[in-house]
Chains A and B, each alone.
Chain A
Amino acid sequence: MNWAGLYAVLSGVNRHSTAIGRIWLSVIFIFRIMVLVVAAESVWGDEKSAFTCNTQQPGCNSVCYDHFFPISHIRLWALQLILVTTPALLVAMHVAYQQHQEKKLLVMTGHGDAKHLEEVKKHKMRIAGSLWWTYVCSVVFRLLFEAVFMYLFYMIYPGYQMVRLVKCEAYPCPNTVDCFVSRPTEKTIFTVFMLVTSSVCIVLNMAELVYLVVRACARRGHHNSNPSSAKGSFYGHKLSSEYKQNEINQLLTEQDGSLKDMLRRNPSLQEKGDRCSAC
């Protein structure tokens, strides 16, 4: 399991994302993960071996390095990228669950042949209902993780700049010892680059959040003015030519014993029970 494995897993999620979500994923993979692997890792490669202290005291070098670099930038970025990309798996799991439900329904209604089941797998899920909430949660978590890591970086390495020289007086170093960091300028350049791409990702996530909320509210407004519009589910569209709409609703209510079911039976309750979830 390496970055390529993560790429394979997340490429599947790509299909059910919004356009902004796809751009975010491309930025993550090309400008962050790829730059980390092909460039940044070799800059930090000799961070410990080329960390030189002006002393011959054995152990001083190791102690000072450990004191000033509790966790390397590379490891922090790797953790950040893993945590930031994993909420997308929540969406993947929810989509898999919904597809499973749809397949079950197709089998129940006598359309359980291989062709229909394949189509369930291939079609793109609309981000509506409970999937909307899962998707929004995943975007919120992404934002949270990005912000937390940026703050962590700032706390551990104040100012995002790599120092050239550190003055160390930890035991066993005699008095105060000058220690020189390897490639500080190159490290600062890459730190700033990763910071900028992190900010770009935060902006994309916020834009996606705003887009989802605005779209859901617009859909709710449209739904209020036109309550008989068809639901967004795949089988609703596919089978409506063969079944009457109320038969589909009956099947839906059998599957989902929630508020949706009550609203369908009592349209007068719709105004009271309507939420901004575009369900």
Chain B
Amino acid sequence: MDWGTLQAVLGGVNKHSTSIGKIWLTVLFIFRIMILVVAAERVWGDEQQDFVCNTLQPGCKNVCYDHFFPISHIRLWALQLIFVSTPALLVAMHVAYRRHEKKRRFRNGEKINIEELKNEKIHIRGPLWWTYTCSIFFRIIFEAVFMYVFYYMYDGYQMPRLVKCDAWPCPNTVDCFVSRPTEKTMFTIFMLAVSGICMMLNLAELCYLVIKIFLKRSRKTTVLK
């Protein structure tokens, strides 16, 4: 079970998304998951090994590393991506439930073509509209929460070059040097920017859905008149 399987699972959801939703999914997979796997993981690969402290005291390096990096950027991004992509499964479950209802009606006598049912695109209306809107809302919330967690944990988005550590068993204050700080800062800013773009896409999709429903409602009231 890895990113490939997640892509397979979410690829199915793609069929029932809006166009903005499809763009969002593409950005997620290509500019975030793929970059994480092919590039970012290598940059952070030697984060603990090459974290060097100016002391011979055994254990000081471990303690200082743990103090300044409670959870690695890579793991935070992995969790962020998992949480941000899962609300789409709510939509997939709702679509599957609707199809199941249609199949049940077919079994009770109504004539529906089963093959067509499988390939049919379900329109985002009624309770599905609410499920879809909730999923987008959750996506936005998760993105914002993780961006805040990053900011809070690492005091901004820049990777420091040097940290001064005085946790036991380090003697007095010890200088510790982070491995590849500039490259890490670049990738942090890149992932932040793409995260911002994804949030904008989600907000745009939310506005699109709300405007569409209002237009539909106003068209209905004018037709009724």
Q: Which residues of A contact B (CB under 8 A)?
A: 3-4, 6-7, 19, 22-23, 26, 29-31, 33-35, 37-39, 42-43, 46, 50, 52-55, 164-165, 178-186, 189-190, 237
Contacts and interface: CB of A to CB of B under 8 A. Distances in A.
Contacts of B72: 43, 186
A178 B62 contact: no
Contacts of A26: 89
B70 A185 contact: yes
A255 to B, nearest CB: 23
A34 B1 contact: yes
B21 to A, nearest CB: 19
Interface of B: 1-6, 9, 41, 48-49, 57-59, 61-63, 65-66, 69-72, 74-75, 78-79, 82, 86, 89, 93, 97, 107, 169
A30 B5 CA distance: 10
A47 B69 CA distance: 16
Given A7-B5, A38-B2, A164 B63 contact: yes
B26 to A, nearest CB: 20
B66 A22 contact: no
B75 A39 contact: yes
Nearest to B75: A39
Contacts of B66: 164, 182-186
A189 B79 CA distance: 12
Nearest to B72: A186
A182 B49 CA distance: 11
B101 to A, nearest CB: 12
Contacts, number: 99
Nearest to A3: B1
28 contacts: A4-B2, A4-B4, A6-B1, A7-B5, A29-B5, A30-B89, A33-B1, A34-B2, A34-B82, A37-B1, A39-B75, A39-B79, A42-B74, A46-B48, A46-B49, A50-B49, A52-B62, A54-B58, A165-B59, A178-B58, A178-B59, A179-B59, A180-B62, A181-B62, A182-B62, A182-B65, A185-B66, A237-B107
A150 B121 CA distance: 43
A241 to B, nearest CB: 11
B93 A22 contact: yes
A52 B48 contact: no
Contacts of A185: 66, 70-71
Contacts of A52: 58-59, 61-62
A35 to B, nearest CB: 7
Given A31-B82, A186-B70, A180 B63 contact: yes
Contacts of A190: 75
Nearest to A237: B107
Contacts of A29: 1, 5
A55 B79 contact: no
A4 B74 contact: no
Given A180-B63, A189-B71, 20 more contacts: A3-B1, A4-B4, A26-B89, A29-B5, A30-B6, A31-B86, A34-B1, A34-B2, A34-B5, A34-B82, A35-B82, A39-B78, A42-B74, A43-B75, A53-B58, A54-B169, A55-B58, A164-B63, A182-B66, A185-B71
Contacts of A22: 93
B59 A4 contact: no
Most A Cβ at <10 Å: residue of B59, B70, B82: B59
A180 B6 CA distance: 36
A181 B61 CA distance: 11
B91 to A, nearest CB: 13
A184 B93 CA distance: 38
B5 A4 contact: yes
A124 B6 CA distance: 25
Contacts of A53: 58-59
B145 to A, nearest CB: 15
B75 A186 contact: yes
Given A39-B79, A54-B59, A186-B71, A178 B1 contact: no
Most A Cβ at <10 Å: residue of B2, B58, B72, B78: B58
A237 B107 CA distance: 9
Contacts of A23: 93
Contacts of B41: 42
Contacts of B4: 4
Nearest to A61: B58
Contact of A42 (B75, B79, B86): B75
Most B Cβ at <10 Å: residue of A19, A34, A38: A38
Nearest to B44: A42
A3 B37 CA distance: 18
